[in-house]
C-alpha cells in the first residue's frame, strides 16, 4: 500500500483546510486509515482514523468536534476536513494505514510522505 497525502497549506486561524490521502494497492476489508501530525520538536500525535469497511471513526481529543474524517472507497481516498483551525494545529500531517483500530503510530504499517499545514494567528 502506498499513500499520497495532499492539501496542506497556509490558513488563518479560524479557517478551514481539507487534506486528502490517496491509497494505491489493495484496500483490505478491515484496514484502518489514519491521520497523524507532528509539530516541530514534538512527538507524532494521533489525529483521527476510520475503518474502510464500516466507516467507524475515532478522533484525538485536541481535534474532536473540529475535524472530520471520511472515506471514498471507490476512489481509495480518505479526507480530513479541518475546521476552526488554531495555530496549535500547525504541523506536518501524515496519513497512515494498518490493520489495528489504534491511535498508536507504531500500529500503522504504511505511511504517506506528509503535508504541511500552517495556521497563522
Interstrand relation of 9-12 and 115-120 (parallel, antiparallel or unpaired):
parallel
pLDDT (tens place) for every residue of the chain, 121 residues total:
899 999 999 999 999 999 999 999 888 878 999 999 999 999 999 999 999 999 999 999 999 999 999 999 999 999 999 999 999 999 999 999 999 999 999 999 999 999 999 999 9
- Determine phi and psi for 90, rounding to 5 degrees: -60, 125
Rounded to whole angstroms, how far apart are CA atoms 102 and 21?
18
Amino acid at each position: 500500500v502506498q499513500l499520497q497525502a495532499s492539501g496542506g497549506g497556509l490558513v488563518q486561524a479560524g479557517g478551514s483546510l481539507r487534506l486528502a490521502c490517496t491509497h494505491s494497492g489493495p484496500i483490505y476489508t478491515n484496514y484502518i486509515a489514519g491521520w497523524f501530525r507532528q509539530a516541530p520538536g514534538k512527538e507524532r500525535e494521533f489525529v483521527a482514523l476510520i475503518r474502510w469497511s464500516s466507516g467507524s471513526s475515532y478522533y484525538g481529543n485536541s481535534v474532536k468536534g473540529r475535524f472530520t474524517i471520511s472515506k471514498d472507497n471507490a476512489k481509495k481516498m480518505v479526507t480530513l476536513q479541518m475546521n476552526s483551525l488554531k495555530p496549535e494545529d500547525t504541523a506536518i500531517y501524515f496519513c497512515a494505514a494498518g490493520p489495528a483500530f489504534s491511535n498508536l503510530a507504531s500500529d500503522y504499517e504504511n505511511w504517506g510522505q506528509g503535508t504541511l499545514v500552517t495556521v497563522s494567528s
